Amino acid sequence: MADVTSKDLMKELKLTLLNDEESVTYRPITVSDISRPGMEMAGFFTYYPAKRIQLLGKTEMTFFEQLTDEDKRDRMERLCTYDTPAIILARGMEAPPELKEAANSVGVPVFSGDVSTTRLSSRVTTFLESKLAPMTAMHGVLIDIYGIGVLITGSSGVGKSETALDLVRRGHRLVADDSVEIRQEQEGTLVGQAPELIQHLLEIRGLGIINVMTLFGAGSVRNEKRIGLAIDLETWDQKKQYDRLGLDEDAVEIFDTKLPKITVPVRPGRNLAVIIEVAAMNFRLKRMGINAAEQFSERLTSVIEDSD
């Protein structure tokens, strides 16, 4: 999980700081949930989620204006705590003096966004869920093949990077080589990217480090990609029985998401780039409801039944 502060949020969403910058403490944001403190404006703070971003829209601020001066100060003092990462006002609204005073006293940044409350809430949630998603790193290569994010894994030296180079030459896009940072943005959704240090770089043994974007152009790379398929390359084992029909479905579990997995044996003479390319296309067909292996199995069963 990445460290995200209210200052990161301000820069990403181009928010305007409304209170004194000298008094502000840009605190870390630990949860992606947002609070619309309507009940709190009415004075009910029993279950106040202080650690969430507090989003004030037109409804909350209209109600606030109807309060007495004493209640206004009370609400804002209780709204601004040392745990509150930030308070955001939508629709470009200005912060009332009571809010600025209470926020400055405890260092809570008060921001303003120019968009509607609903749209601002969506943008904040999307950004925080992306940054606060659980993350891990895997040894492998991630390639965007016909719109499918293909994670290629295998032991060191099996030919992952060379295969990735061949795929890039065939018009596909490199996301990450050697190390892939994977985050789970929501249940069933895995997104991979390259560490910043090795972004757009590819290591080829005997050749060294190459910059894919410089050599093949901006269209040959992308910064991140949702992962849809895992392909594991392994050295051909004569004693092992490999799937020849494609009816067996294997999966690899990352976090609590199961990713379809195909094992491809490697031996001299096999064009891995073409095999992986076809595997990605076949995966797309399966998602569209067309399964060649099942169709063949049904035909075979029909022929056997007719012969009986």
Nearest to 60 by CA among 31, 89, 21, 34: 89
Q: What are the catalytic residues?
A: 139, 160, 178, 244
Grouping H, G, I as helix, E, B as strand and the rest as coil, residue 306 is helix
From the number of C-beta atoms within 10 Å of its C-beta (0-12, 13-18, 19+), residue 5 rates as: middle
Distance CA 186, CA 256 (A): 10
Residue numbers in the known binding site for ATP are 154-161
User: Which string of b and e fits 108-123 if b means at least 16 CB within 10 Å?
Assistant: bbbbbbeeebeebbeb
Residue 23's CB is within 10 A of a number of other CB atoms, namely 14
* The amino acid at 164: A
Strand segments (E) across the chain: 16-17, 34-35, 53-56, 87-89, 110-112, 135-139, 141-145, 148-154, 173-176, 179-186, 189-193, 201-204, 208-211, 224-235, 250-254, 257-266
Residue numbers in the known binding site for Mg(2+) are 161, 203
